[in-house]
Chains A and B, each alone.
Chain A
Amino acid sequence: MSTDVKTIPQGTNGHPEVRTQEQRTAANGVKLPVYMDNHATTPMDPRVLEEMLPYFMEKFGNAASRNHSFGWAGEEGVESARERVAKLIGATPKEIIFTSGATESDNLAIKGVAEMYKEKGNHVITAVTEHKAVLDTCKRLEKYGYRVTYLPVQKDGLIDLEELGRALDDKTILVTIMAANNEIGVVQPIAEIGKLCRARGVIFHTDATQAVGKIPIDVNKMSIDLMSISAHKMYGPKGVGALYVRRKNPRVQISAIIDGGGHERGMRSGTLNVPGIVGLGKACAIAWEEMAKESCTLAGLRNRLRDRIMGRLDEVYINGSMEHRLPGNLNISFAYVEGESLLMGINDIAVSSGSACTSATLEPSYVLKALGTGDDLAHSSIRFGIGRFNTEAEVDYVADRVIETVERLRELSPLYEMAKEGVDLKSVKWAAE
Protein backbone atom coordinates (compact mmCIF):
# COMPACT_ATOMS: atom_id res chain seq x y z
CA MET A 1 0.00 0.00 0.00
CA SER A 2 1.38 3.35 -1.00
CA THR A 3 1.12 5.98 1.67
CA ASP A 4 3.06 8.70 -0.07
CA VAL A 5 0.40 9.17 -2.71
CA LYS A 6 -0.95 12.65 -2.19
CA THR A 7 -4.22 12.29 -4.01
CA ILE A 8 -6.19 9.17 -4.74
CA PRO A 9 -9.41 10.38 -6.29
CA GLN A 10 -12.27 7.99 -5.75
CA GLY A 11 -14.51 8.81 -8.67
CA THR A 12 -17.77 7.22 -7.53
CA ASN A 13 -19.76 10.40 -7.63
CA GLY A 14 -17.39 12.78 -9.30
CA HIS A 15 -16.14 14.19 -6.02
CA PRO A 16 -12.52 13.30 -5.64
CA GLU A 17 -11.62 12.47 -2.10
CA VAL A 18 -8.33 14.07 -1.22
CA ARG A 19 -6.22 12.24 1.31
CA THR A 20 -2.77 13.02 2.48
CA GLN A 21 -0.53 11.31 4.93
CA GLU A 22 -1.30 13.92 7.56
CA GLN A 23 -5.05 13.46 7.26
CA ARG A 24 -5.13 9.75 7.99
CA THR A 25 -8.45 9.96 9.76
CA ALA A 26 -11.81 9.17 8.23
CA ALA A 27 -14.82 11.44 8.52
CA ASN A 28 -16.25 9.53 11.46
CA GLY A 29 -12.99 9.75 13.39
CA VAL A 30 -11.67 6.33 12.38
CA LYS A 31 -7.87 6.18 12.22
CA LEU A 32 -6.55 4.87 8.92
CA PRO A 33 -5.57 2.38 7.77
CA VAL A 34 -8.06 0.06 9.47
CA TYR A 35 -6.73 -3.40 10.33
CA MET A 36 -9.39 -6.05 9.76
CA ASP A 37 -7.26 -9.07 8.86
CA ASN A 38 -7.11 -10.73 12.26
CA HIS A 39 -6.97 -14.26 10.83
CA ALA A 40 -3.61 -13.44 9.28
CA THR A 41 -2.25 -12.13 12.54
CA THR A 42 -3.45 -10.06 15.46
CA PRO A 43 -1.85 -7.00 16.96
CA MET A 44 -0.25 -7.72 20.33
CA ASP A 45 -2.30 -6.91 23.35
CA PRO A 46 -0.32 -4.29 25.33
CA ARG A 47 -0.82 -6.40 28.46
CA VAL A 48 1.01 -9.24 26.72
CA LEU A 49 3.92 -7.04 25.77
CA GLU A 50 4.16 -5.68 29.29
CA GLU A 51 4.45 -9.18 30.70
CA MET A 52 7.09 -10.16 28.15
CA LEU A 53 9.41 -7.19 28.51
CA PRO A 54 11.32 -8.25 31.66
CA TYR A 55 12.24 -11.51 29.93
CA PHE A 56 14.34 -9.75 27.32
CA MET A 57 16.71 -7.97 29.73
CA GLU A 58 16.55 -8.64 33.48
CA LYS A 59 15.24 -12.19 33.22
CA PHE A 60 17.25 -13.24 30.19
CA GLY A 61 18.29 -16.59 31.62
CA ASN A 62 18.10 -19.89 29.79
CA ALA A 63 15.14 -21.80 31.21
CA ALA A 64 17.25 -24.94 31.01
CA SER A 65 19.98 -23.54 33.30
CA ARG A 66 19.22 -25.46 36.45
CA ASN A 67 21.91 -24.18 38.79
CA HIS A 68 21.52 -20.41 39.04
CA SER A 69 18.85 -17.81 39.63
CA PHE A 70 18.94 -16.52 36.05
CA GLY A 71 17.88 -19.91 34.79
CA TRP A 72 15.29 -20.27 37.55
CA ALA A 73 13.69 -16.96 36.64
CA GLY A 74 13.35 -18.06 33.04
CA GLU A 75 12.00 -21.44 34.06
CA GLU A 76 9.47 -19.81 36.35
CA GLY A 77 8.18 -17.69 33.47
CA VAL A 78 7.92 -20.73 31.20
CA GLU A 79 6.18 -22.93 33.77
CA SER A 80 3.69 -20.24 34.69
CA ALA A 81 2.91 -19.86 30.97
CA ARG A 82 2.53 -23.63 30.63
CA GLU A 83 -0.12 -23.57 33.36
CA ARG A 84 -1.99 -20.73 31.70
CA VAL A 85 -2.04 -22.41 28.29
CA ALA A 86 -3.16 -25.68 29.86
CA LYS A 87 -5.94 -23.98 31.82
CA LEU A 88 -7.43 -22.37 28.74
CA ILE A 89 -7.87 -25.73 26.99
CA GLY A 90 -8.63 -27.95 29.99
CA ALA A 91 -5.26 -29.74 29.87
CA THR A 92 -2.55 -30.34 32.45
CA PRO A 93 0.69 -28.31 32.19
CA LYS A 94 2.81 -31.38 31.40
CA GLU A 95 0.76 -31.88 28.24
CA ILE A 96 1.92 -28.56 26.73
CA ILE A 97 4.97 -28.59 24.44
CA PHE A 98 6.20 -25.19 23.32
CA THR A 99 7.13 -24.76 19.66
CA SER A 100 7.91 -21.98 17.20
CA GLY A 101 4.29 -21.76 16.09
CA ALA A 102 1.37 -23.72 14.74
CA THR A 103 3.12 -24.78 11.53
CA GLU A 104 5.78 -26.51 13.59
CA SER A 105 3.12 -27.95 15.91
CA ASP A 106 1.23 -29.39 12.93
CA ASN A 107 4.43 -30.91 11.53
CA LEU A 108 5.40 -32.33 14.90
CA ALA A 109 1.97 -33.83 15.54
CA ILE A 110 1.50 -35.40 12.12
CA LYS A 111 5.04 -36.56 11.40
CA GLY A 112 5.51 -37.46 15.05
CA VAL A 113 2.50 -39.77 15.09
CA ALA A 114 3.28 -41.18 11.65
CA GLU A 115 6.72 -42.27 12.73
CA MET A 116 5.78 -43.43 16.22
CA TYR A 117 2.86 -45.56 15.07
CA LYS A 118 4.17 -46.79 11.74
CA GLU A 119 4.05 -50.40 12.96
CA LYS A 120 0.37 -49.98 13.73
CA GLY A 121 -0.70 -48.52 10.41
CA ASN A 122 0.05 -46.16 7.55
CA HIS A 123 -3.23 -44.34 6.97
CA VAL A 124 -3.95 -40.70 7.80
CA ILE A 125 -7.23 -38.83 7.32
CA THR A 126 -7.50 -35.08 6.83
CA ALA A 127 -9.77 -32.66 4.96
CA VAL A 128 -9.30 -30.66 1.77
CA THR A 129 -9.86 -27.32 3.52
CA GLU A 130 -7.00 -27.72 5.99
CA HIS A 131 -4.21 -25.18 6.24
CA LYS A 132 -1.16 -25.86 4.07
CA ALA A 133 0.83 -26.66 7.19
CA VAL A 134 -1.31 -29.79 7.50
CA LEU A 135 -1.92 -30.53 3.81
CA ASP A 136 1.71 -30.24 2.77
CA THR A 137 2.83 -32.29 5.76
CA CYS A 138 0.38 -35.00 4.68
CA LYS A 139 1.71 -34.81 1.14
CA ARG A 140 5.19 -35.34 2.53
CA LEU A 141 3.94 -38.47 4.32
CA GLU A 142 2.55 -39.77 1.03
CA LYS A 143 6.05 -39.52 -0.41
CA TYR A 144 7.23 -41.72 2.45
CA GLY A 145 4.64 -44.34 1.56
CA TYR A 146 1.76 -43.36 3.83
CA ARG A 147 -1.79 -43.38 2.55
CA VAL A 148 -3.73 -40.14 3.06
CA THR A 149 -7.48 -39.61 2.68
CA TYR A 150 -8.48 -36.02 1.99
CA LEU A 151 -12.11 -35.71 3.03
CA PRO A 152 -14.24 -33.35 0.99
CA VAL A 153 -16.41 -30.78 2.74
CA GLN A 154 -20.06 -29.98 2.30
CA LYS A 155 -21.35 -26.71 0.87
CA ASP A 156 -21.25 -25.11 4.32
CA GLY A 157 -17.60 -26.08 4.80
CA LEU A 158 -18.24 -28.81 7.35
CA ILE A 159 -17.01 -32.36 6.93
CA ASP A 160 -19.56 -35.18 6.82
CA LEU A 161 -19.13 -37.29 9.97
CA GLU A 162 -20.51 -40.38 8.25
CA GLU A 163 -17.95 -39.97 5.53
CA LEU A 164 -15.24 -39.75 8.17
CA GLY A 165 -16.60 -42.92 9.75
CA ARG A 166 -16.42 -44.71 6.42
CA ALA A 167 -12.88 -43.51 5.76
CA LEU A 168 -11.53 -44.97 9.01
CA ASP A 169 -10.01 -48.42 8.56
CA ASP A 170 -7.80 -50.76 10.58
CA LYS A 171 -4.68 -49.07 9.23
CA THR A 172 -5.75 -45.56 10.23
CA ILE A 173 -3.38 -44.11 12.82
CA LEU A 174 -4.32 -40.41 12.73
CA VAL A 175 -7.19 -38.08 11.94
CA THR A 176 -6.21 -34.44 11.59
CA ILE A 177 -9.08 -31.98 11.17
CA MET A 178 -8.83 -28.29 11.94
CA ALA A 179 -11.01 -26.72 14.62
CA ALA A 180 -11.76 -23.49 12.74
CA ASN A 181 -10.87 -22.58 9.19
CA ASN A 182 -8.52 -19.68 8.55
CA GLU A 183 -10.38 -18.42 5.47
CA ILE A 184 -14.05 -18.99 6.14
CA GLY A 185 -13.99 -19.33 9.92
CA VAL A 186 -16.11 -22.47 9.79
CA VAL A 187 -15.93 -24.47 13.02
CA GLN A 188 -15.84 -28.26 12.56
CA PRO A 189 -17.77 -30.61 14.90
CA ILE A 190 -14.64 -31.29 16.90
CA ALA A 191 -16.30 -33.09 19.82
CA GLU A 192 -18.09 -35.49 17.46
CA ILE A 193 -14.93 -36.14 15.48
CA GLY A 194 -13.07 -36.75 18.74
CA LYS A 195 -15.71 -39.17 19.95
CA LEU A 196 -15.63 -41.10 16.69
CA CYS A 197 -11.83 -41.37 16.73
CA ARG A 198 -11.76 -42.38 20.38
CA ALA A 199 -14.27 -45.16 19.76
CA ARG A 200 -12.12 -46.46 16.91
CA GLY A 201 -8.85 -46.12 18.80
CA VAL A 202 -7.46 -43.56 16.35
CA ILE A 203 -5.42 -40.54 17.44
CA PHE A 204 -7.12 -37.20 16.79
CA HIS A 205 -5.10 -34.07 16.07
CA THR A 206 -6.70 -30.70 15.52
CA ASP A 207 -5.08 -27.55 14.21
CA ALA A 208 -6.80 -25.07 16.53
CA THR A 209 -4.74 -22.05 15.49
CA GLN A 210 -7.81 -19.94 14.72
CA ALA A 211 -10.02 -21.39 17.48
CA VAL A 212 -8.06 -21.26 20.72
CA GLY A 213 -8.87 -18.10 22.61
CA LYS A 214 -11.85 -17.39 20.33
CA ILE A 215 -14.25 -20.23 21.13
CA PRO A 216 -14.31 -22.67 24.07
CA ILE A 217 -12.00 -25.63 23.52
CA ASP A 218 -11.71 -28.42 26.09
CA VAL A 219 -9.39 -31.26 25.14
CA ASN A 220 -11.15 -33.74 27.42
CA LYS A 221 -14.74 -32.89 26.58
CA MET A 222 -13.80 -32.92 22.89
CA SER A 223 -11.61 -36.06 23.04
CA ILE A 224 -8.68 -34.23 21.45
CA ASP A 225 -5.33 -36.05 21.57
CA LEU A 226 -3.07 -33.49 19.91
CA MET A 227 -3.76 -29.81 19.29
CA SER A 228 -1.77 -27.04 17.60
CA ILE A 229 -1.84 -23.56 19.11
CA SER A 230 -0.37 -20.27 17.90
CA ALA A 231 0.29 -17.14 19.95
CA HIS A 232 0.11 -14.50 17.24
CA LYS A 233 -3.48 -15.30 16.28
CA MET A 234 -4.60 -14.49 19.82
CA TYR A 235 -2.89 -11.16 20.50
CA GLY A 236 0.42 -12.75 21.45
CA PRO A 237 3.83 -12.55 19.78
CA LYS A 238 4.86 -14.19 16.51
CA GLY A 239 7.26 -17.12 16.46
CA VAL A 240 5.79 -19.06 19.35
CA GLY A 241 3.13 -21.71 19.70
CA ALA A 242 2.39 -24.96 21.42
CA LEU A 243 1.36 -28.52 20.84
CA TYR A 244 -0.96 -30.18 23.29
CA VAL A 245 0.01 -33.86 23.67
CA ARG A 246 -2.38 -36.07 25.67
CA ARG A 247 -0.66 -37.92 28.52
CA LYS A 248 -3.42 -40.23 29.67
CA ASN A 249 -6.67 -41.87 28.54
CA PRO A 250 -4.98 -42.67 26.23
CA ARG A 251 -1.30 -41.71 26.45
CA VAL A 252 -0.18 -40.38 23.09
CA GLN A 253 3.45 -40.60 22.04
CA ILE A 254 5.15 -38.76 19.23
CA SER A 255 8.59 -38.91 17.71
CA ALA A 256 10.52 -35.67 17.75
CA ILE A 257 11.35 -33.97 14.48
CA ILE A 258 13.95 -31.67 16.01
CA ASP A 259 16.66 -33.47 17.93
CA GLY A 260 19.09 -31.89 20.37
CA GLY A 261 19.21 -31.10 24.04
CA GLY A 262 16.05 -33.00 24.91
CA HIS A 263 13.98 -29.97 25.89
CA GLU A 264 10.22 -30.26 26.30
CA ARG A 265 10.41 -33.88 27.44
CA GLY A 266 12.44 -34.78 24.40
CA MET A 267 9.67 -33.85 22.00
CA ARG A 268 11.08 -30.51 20.96
CA SER A 269 14.73 -29.71 21.49
CA GLY A 270 16.03 -26.18 21.34
CA THR A 271 16.49 -23.41 23.89
CA LEU A 272 13.10 -22.13 24.88
CA ASN A 273 11.88 -18.78 23.54
CA VAL A 274 11.20 -17.53 27.05
CA PRO A 275 9.77 -14.05 26.28
CA GLY A 276 7.58 -15.52 23.53
CA ILE A 277 6.33 -18.33 25.76
CA VAL A 278 5.56 -15.83 28.54
CA GLY A 279 3.62 -13.82 25.95
CA LEU A 280 1.65 -16.88 24.83
CA GLY A 281 0.84 -17.61 28.47
CA LYS A 282 -0.42 -14.10 29.08
CA ALA A 283 -2.46 -14.17 25.85
CA CYS A 284 -4.11 -17.40 27.07
CA ALA A 285 -4.76 -15.91 30.52
CA ILE A 286 -6.48 -12.90 28.96
CA ALA A 287 -8.53 -15.15 26.69
CA TRP A 288 -9.57 -17.27 29.68
CA GLU A 289 -10.89 -14.15 31.41
CA GLU A 290 -12.40 -12.32 28.47
CA MET A 291 -13.29 -14.81 25.77
CA ALA A 292 -16.98 -15.21 26.58
CA LYS A 293 -17.68 -11.50 26.54
CA GLU A 294 -15.36 -10.80 23.66
CA SER A 295 -16.92 -13.40 21.38
CA CYS A 296 -20.32 -11.76 21.89
CA THR A 297 -18.89 -8.36 21.00
CA LEU A 298 -17.11 -9.71 17.93
CA ALA A 299 -20.19 -11.57 16.69
CA GLY A 300 -22.15 -8.34 17.11
CA LEU A 301 -19.62 -6.35 15.08
CA ARG A 302 -19.43 -9.08 12.44
CA ASN A 303 -23.20 -9.22 12.07
CA ARG A 304 -23.31 -5.44 11.87
CA LEU A 305 -20.80 -5.52 9.01
CA ARG A 306 -22.72 -8.28 7.24
CA ASP A 307 -26.11 -6.60 7.63
CA ARG A 308 -24.85 -3.22 6.51
CA ILE A 309 -23.20 -4.63 3.40
CA MET A 310 -26.01 -7.00 2.49
CA GLY A 311 -28.62 -4.34 3.16
CA ARG A 312 -27.14 -2.14 0.47
CA LEU A 313 -25.71 -4.55 -2.12
CA ASP A 314 -27.42 -7.32 -4.03
CA GLU A 315 -25.73 -10.52 -5.19
CA VAL A 316 -23.46 -10.82 -2.20
CA TYR A 317 -22.84 -14.36 -1.00
CA ILE A 318 -21.55 -15.60 2.34
CA ASN A 319 -19.00 -18.39 2.02
CA GLY A 320 -19.42 -21.17 4.58
CA SER A 321 -21.79 -21.85 7.43
CA MET A 322 -22.99 -18.79 9.31
CA GLU A 323 -24.08 -20.95 12.25
CA HIS A 324 -20.84 -22.87 12.79
CA ARG A 325 -18.44 -20.00 12.48
CA LEU A 326 -15.88 -18.00 14.43
CA PRO A 327 -17.48 -14.86 15.84
CA GLY A 328 -15.03 -12.47 14.13
CA ASN A 329 -15.09 -14.02 10.65
CA LEU A 330 -16.96 -12.88 7.59
CA ASN A 331 -16.05 -14.22 4.16
CA ILE A 332 -18.17 -12.94 1.33
CA SER A 333 -18.17 -12.90 -2.43
CA PHE A 334 -19.27 -9.83 -4.34
CA ALA A 335 -20.53 -11.12 -7.67
CA TYR A 336 -19.18 -9.40 -10.83
CA VAL A 337 -16.31 -7.74 -8.95
CA GLU A 338 -12.80 -9.16 -8.89
CA GLY A 339 -11.29 -9.38 -5.41
CA GLU A 340 -7.94 -7.77 -6.01
CA SER A 341 -9.47 -4.74 -7.69
CA LEU A 342 -11.79 -4.43 -4.71
CA LEU A 343 -8.82 -4.54 -2.32
CA MET A 344 -7.20 -1.81 -4.40
CA GLY A 345 -10.26 0.35 -4.01
CA ILE A 346 -10.34 -0.08 -0.25
CA ASN A 347 -6.63 0.34 0.17
CA ASP A 348 -6.94 2.02 3.54
CA ILE A 349 -8.49 -1.17 4.90
CA ALA A 350 -6.42 -4.29 5.53
CA VAL A 351 -8.39 -7.41 4.57
CA SER A 352 -7.67 -10.49 2.42
CA SER A 353 -9.07 -11.88 -0.81
CA GLY A 354 -9.46 -15.39 -2.16
CA SER A 355 -8.81 -14.02 -5.63
CA ALA A 356 -6.12 -15.72 -7.66
CA CYS A 357 -4.52 -12.37 -8.32
CA THR A 358 -3.63 -12.04 -4.65
CA SER A 359 -1.97 -15.44 -4.45
CA ALA A 360 1.46 -16.45 -5.68
CA THR A 361 0.05 -19.43 -7.56
CA LEU A 362 -2.57 -17.51 -9.57
CA GLU A 363 -5.13 -20.06 -8.38
CA PRO A 364 -8.21 -18.90 -6.52
CA SER A 365 -8.73 -20.09 -2.95
CA TYR A 366 -8.74 -23.90 -2.70
CA VAL A 367 -10.92 -23.60 0.39
CA LEU A 368 -13.69 -21.78 -1.48
CA LYS A 369 -13.37 -24.20 -4.39
CA ALA A 370 -13.84 -27.07 -1.94
CA LEU A 371 -17.17 -25.56 -0.86
CA GLY A 372 -18.30 -25.71 -4.46
CA THR A 373 -18.02 -21.95 -4.86
CA GLY A 374 -17.45 -21.34 -8.56
CA ASP A 375 -14.10 -19.91 -9.58
CA ASP A 376 -15.85 -16.68 -10.57
CA LEU A 377 -17.16 -16.15 -7.05
CA ALA A 378 -13.93 -17.34 -5.47
CA HIS A 379 -12.18 -14.54 -7.40
CA SER A 380 -14.70 -12.13 -5.90
CA SER A 381 -14.25 -13.08 -2.25
CA ILE A 382 -13.08 -10.96 0.64
CA ARG A 383 -12.20 -12.20 4.11
CA PHE A 384 -12.90 -9.84 6.97
CA GLY A 385 -11.29 -10.78 10.28
CA ILE A 386 -12.65 -8.70 13.11
CA GLY A 387 -10.61 -8.67 16.28
CA ARG A 388 -10.28 -7.38 19.82
CA PHE A 389 -9.29 -3.86 18.84
CA ASN A 390 -11.84 -3.17 16.12
CA THR A 391 -14.59 -0.69 16.88
CA GLU A 392 -18.13 -0.14 15.72
CA ALA A 393 -17.04 3.04 13.93
CA GLU A 394 -14.42 1.03 12.03
CA VAL A 395 -16.98 -1.55 11.02
CA ASP A 396 -19.25 1.19 9.67
CA TYR A 397 -16.39 2.82 7.82
CA VAL A 398 -15.32 -0.50 6.29
CA ALA A 399 -18.88 -1.37 5.25
CA ASP A 400 -19.38 2.01 3.58
CA ARG A 401 -16.08 1.88 1.74
CA VAL A 402 -16.76 -1.65 0.54
CA ILE A 403 -20.24 -0.73 -0.65
CA GLU A 404 -19.09 2.34 -2.57
CA THR A 405 -16.17 0.48 -4.14
CA VAL A 406 -18.27 -2.52 -5.17
CA GLU A 407 -20.82 -0.17 -6.72
CA ARG A 408 -18.10 1.65 -8.63
CA LEU A 409 -16.48 -1.56 -9.87
CA ARG A 410 -19.82 -3.03 -10.89
CA GLU A 411 -20.38 0.02 -13.06
CA LEU A 412 -17.08 -0.94 -14.65
CA SER A 413 -17.91 -4.64 -14.91
CA PRO A 414 -19.08 -6.14 -18.21
CA LEU A 415 -20.41 -9.12 -16.25
CA TYR A 416 -22.68 -6.93 -14.15
CA GLU A 417 -23.94 -5.21 -17.29
CA MET A 418 -24.62 -8.55 -18.97
CA ALA A 419 -26.38 -9.94 -15.89
CA LYS A 420 -28.57 -6.84 -15.73
CA GLU A 421 -29.43 -7.32 -19.40
CA GLY A 422 -30.62 -10.81 -18.50
CA VAL A 423 -27.71 -12.70 -20.06
CA ASP A 424 -27.09 -16.03 -18.33
CA LEU A 425 -23.35 -15.81 -17.73
CA LYS A 426 -23.09 -19.58 -17.33
CA SER A 427 -24.37 -20.08 -20.88
CA VAL A 428 -21.89 -17.69 -22.48
CA LYS A 429 -19.12 -19.37 -24.42
CA TRP A 430 -16.14 -17.47 -23.06
CA ALA A 431 -13.17 -16.95 -25.29
CA ALA A 432 -10.53 -17.75 -22.73
CA GLU A 433 -6.98 -16.77 -23.47
Chain B
Amino acid sequence: MAYSDKVLDHYSNPRNVGSMDKSSNEVGTGLVGAPECGDVMKLQIKVNPQTNIIEDAKFKTFGCGSAIASSSLATEWVKGKTVDEALQIKNTEIVKELALPPVKIHCSVLAEDAIRAAIHDWKAKQGAAKPVAVETK
Protein backbone atom coordinates (compact mmCIF):
# COMPACT_ATOMS: atom_id res chain seq x y z
CA MET B 1 0.00 0.00 0.00
CA ALA B 2 1.56 3.25 -1.05
CA TYR B 3 0.62 6.45 0.71
CA SER B 4 1.04 9.82 -0.92
CA ASP B 5 3.68 12.10 0.55
CA LYS B 6 0.95 14.43 1.77
CA VAL B 7 -0.84 11.64 3.66
CA LEU B 8 2.46 10.58 5.20
CA ASP B 9 3.20 14.18 6.17
CA HIS B 10 -0.17 14.70 7.88
CA TYR B 11 0.10 11.30 9.56
CA SER B 12 3.57 12.02 10.90
CA ASN B 13 2.95 15.69 11.72
CA PRO B 14 -0.77 16.02 12.26
CA ARG B 15 -1.89 19.66 12.43
CA ASN B 16 -4.13 21.01 15.16
CA VAL B 17 -4.41 17.91 17.30
CA GLY B 18 -6.30 18.51 20.50
CA SER B 19 -9.56 19.35 22.14
CA MET B 20 -11.46 22.48 23.05
CA ASP B 21 -14.10 23.00 25.71
CA LYS B 22 -17.16 21.53 24.08
CA SER B 23 -19.49 23.32 26.48
CA SER B 24 -18.27 26.74 25.33
CA ASN B 25 -20.75 28.71 23.23
CA GLU B 26 -18.04 29.65 20.77
CA VAL B 27 -17.09 26.03 20.14
CA GLY B 28 -18.82 23.65 17.75
CA THR B 29 -18.07 19.94 18.01
CA GLY B 30 -18.59 17.30 15.35
CA LEU B 31 -18.19 13.63 16.22
CA VAL B 32 -18.73 11.35 13.24
CA GLY B 33 -18.10 7.72 12.32
CA ALA B 34 -18.25 4.67 14.55
CA PRO B 35 -15.63 2.48 16.23
CA GLU B 36 -17.14 -0.62 14.59
CA CYS B 37 -16.47 0.91 11.19
CA GLY B 38 -12.88 1.66 12.06
CA ASP B 39 -13.17 5.45 11.80
CA VAL B 40 -14.19 8.09 14.34
CA MET B 41 -13.41 11.76 13.84
CA LYS B 42 -13.88 14.54 16.34
CA LEU B 43 -13.52 17.98 14.80
CA GLN B 44 -13.98 21.19 16.79
CA ILE B 45 -14.15 24.77 15.64
CA LYS B 46 -13.96 27.99 17.60
CA VAL B 47 -15.91 30.76 15.92
CA ASN B 48 -15.76 34.50 16.46
CA PRO B 49 -19.41 35.43 17.02
CA GLN B 50 -18.92 38.91 15.55
CA THR B 51 -17.35 37.86 12.26
CA ASN B 52 -18.47 34.21 11.98
CA ILE B 53 -14.85 33.43 11.20
CA ILE B 54 -13.43 30.12 12.40
CA GLU B 55 -10.47 31.24 14.48
CA ASP B 56 -9.30 27.86 15.65
CA ALA B 57 -9.88 24.22 14.87
CA LYS B 58 -8.81 21.02 16.58
CA PHE B 59 -9.25 17.34 15.80
CA LYS B 60 -8.74 13.87 17.12
CA THR B 61 -9.18 10.83 14.89
CA PHE B 62 -9.34 7.09 15.37
CA GLY B 63 -8.77 5.62 11.95
CA CYS B 64 -6.31 4.76 9.25
CA GLY B 65 -3.59 7.11 8.04
CA SER B 66 -5.85 8.55 5.35
CA ALA B 67 -8.55 9.32 7.93
CA ILE B 68 -6.01 11.06 10.14
CA ALA B 69 -4.68 13.02 7.16
CA SER B 70 -8.18 13.98 5.95
CA SER B 71 -9.19 15.39 9.32
CA SER B 72 -5.84 17.08 9.85
CA LEU B 73 -6.21 18.77 6.46
CA ALA B 74 -9.82 19.71 7.25
CA THR B 75 -8.72 21.64 10.34
CA GLU B 76 -6.14 23.50 8.29
CA TRP B 77 -8.67 24.43 5.64
CA VAL B 78 -11.46 25.62 7.91
CA LYS B 79 -9.24 27.94 9.92
CA GLY B 80 -9.66 31.54 8.80
CA LYS B 81 -12.80 30.79 6.83
CA THR B 82 -16.28 31.93 7.78
CA VAL B 83 -18.63 29.11 8.70
CA ASP B 84 -20.43 29.49 5.38
CA GLU B 85 -17.19 29.28 3.46
CA ALA B 86 -16.23 26.21 5.46
CA LEU B 87 -19.50 24.56 4.49
CA GLN B 88 -18.38 24.82 0.87
CA ILE B 89 -15.46 22.44 1.41
CA LYS B 90 -16.10 19.30 -0.59
CA ASN B 91 -14.74 15.85 0.08
CA THR B 92 -13.54 15.68 -3.53
CA GLU B 93 -11.14 18.54 -2.82
CA ILE B 94 -9.69 16.56 0.08
CA VAL B 95 -9.35 13.51 -2.17
CA LYS B 96 -7.50 15.62 -4.72
CA GLU B 97 -5.22 17.36 -2.24
CA LEU B 98 -4.18 14.11 -0.51
CA ALA B 99 -4.25 11.95 -3.66
CA LEU B 100 -6.45 9.42 -1.88
CA PRO B 101 -7.07 6.15 -3.72
CA PRO B 102 -10.73 5.12 -4.36
CA VAL B 103 -10.73 2.74 -1.37
CA LYS B 104 -10.00 5.71 0.93
CA ILE B 105 -12.61 8.12 -0.40
CA HIS B 106 -14.85 7.38 2.59
CA CYS B 107 -12.19 9.04 4.78
CA SER B 108 -12.69 12.31 2.94
CA VAL B 109 -16.47 11.97 3.15
CA LEU B 110 -16.15 11.53 6.89
CA ALA B 111 -13.96 14.64 7.14
CA GLU B 112 -16.58 16.67 5.25
CA ASP B 113 -19.24 15.26 7.57
CA ALA B 114 -17.14 16.24 10.57
CA ILE B 115 -16.89 19.87 9.37
CA ARG B 116 -20.65 20.01 8.80
CA ALA B 117 -21.39 18.41 12.15
CA ALA B 118 -19.14 20.87 13.98
CA ILE B 119 -20.73 23.85 12.24
CA HIS B 120 -24.20 22.44 12.85
CA ASP B 121 -23.42 22.09 16.55
CA TRP B 122 -22.10 25.65 16.73
CA LYS B 123 -25.12 27.02 14.88
CA ALA B 124 -27.47 25.18 17.18
CA LYS B 125 -25.73 26.79 20.14
CA GLN B 126 -26.08 30.24 18.60
CA GLY B 127 -29.73 29.52 17.93
CA ALA B 128 -30.25 28.69 21.57
CA ALA B 129 -28.16 31.58 22.89
CA LYS B 130 -29.18 34.39 20.57
CA PRO B 131 -31.86 33.44 18.10
CA VAL B 132 -31.03 35.95 15.36
CA ALA B 133 -27.38 35.25 14.88
CA VAL B 134 -26.23 32.96 12.15
CA GLU B 135 -28.30 32.02 9.16
CA THR B 136 -27.08 33.93 6.15
CA LYS B 137 -28.25 34.06 2.55
Contact = CB atoms under 8 A, between A and B. Distances in A.
A412 B116 CA distance: 21
Interface residues of A, number: 35
Given A11-B13, A412-B68, A433-B110, A357 B62 contact: no
B19 A417 contact: yes
Contact of B36 (A337, A340, A374): A374
Interface in B80-121: 103, 106, 109-110, 113, 117
Contact of A415 (B3, B35, B109): B35
A412 B106 CA distance: 19
Contacts of B106: 433
Interface in A1-18: 2, 5, 8-11
A415 to B, nearest CB: 5
A122 to B, nearest CB: 37
B12 A8 contact: yes
Interface stretch (A187-195, A322-330, A424-432): A424-432
Given A2-B3, A414-B42, A417-B19, A430 B33 contact: yes
Contact of B64 (A5, A9, A357, A432): A357
A338 B13 contact: no
Interface string B23-44: 0000000011111111111100
A9 B14 CA distance: 11
Contacts of A417: 19, 42, 60
A379 B63 CA distance: 9
A11 B117 CA distance: 29
Contact of A431 (B31, B67, B103): B31
A357 B110 CA distance: 15
A338 B60 contact: no
A364 B38 contact: yes
B34 A430 contact: yes
B63 A432 contact: no
B34 A432 contact: yes
Contacts, number: 104
B98 to A, nearest CB: 14
A356 interface: yes
A379 B38 contact: yes
Interface in B43-90: 60-65, 67-68
Counting chain B CB atoms within 10 Å of each CB, which of A10, A358, A414 scores highest?
A: A414
A2 B8 contact: yes
A376 B13 contact: no
B38 A414 contact: no
Interface in A181-224: none
Contact of A411 (B12, B17, B109): B17
Nearest to B5: A5
A8 B103 CA distance: 24
A356 B37 CA distance: 8
A344 B62 contact: no
A82 to B, nearest CB: 40
Interface string B5-22: 100100111100101000
B105 to A, nearest CB: 11
Contacts of B14: 412
A235 to B, nearest CB: 27
A341 B42 contact: no
Given A344-B11, A433-B109, A357 B33 contact: no
B2 interface: yes
A430 B33 CA distance: 6
A340 B17 contact: no
B36 A375 contact: yes
B88 to A, nearest CB: 20
Nearest to A357: B64
A355 B61 contact: no
Given A336-B62, A432-B34, 18 more contacts: A2-B3, A2-B8, A11-B12, A11-B13, A338-B63, A338-B64, A340-B65, A344-B11, A345-B11, A355-B64, A374-B36, A376-B38, A379-B35, A414-B62, A431-B32, A431-B113, A432-B37, A433-B113
6 shortest interchain CB distances as A-B pairs? A430-B34, A376-B35, A414-B42, A375-B36, A340-B64, A414-B60
18 contacts: A2-B3, A2-B8, A340-B64, A341-B11, A344-B8, A357-B64, A374-B35, A375-B38, A376-B38, A412-B17, A412-B68, A413-B60, A413-B62, A414-B62, A425-B35, A430-B34, A430-B40, A431-B34
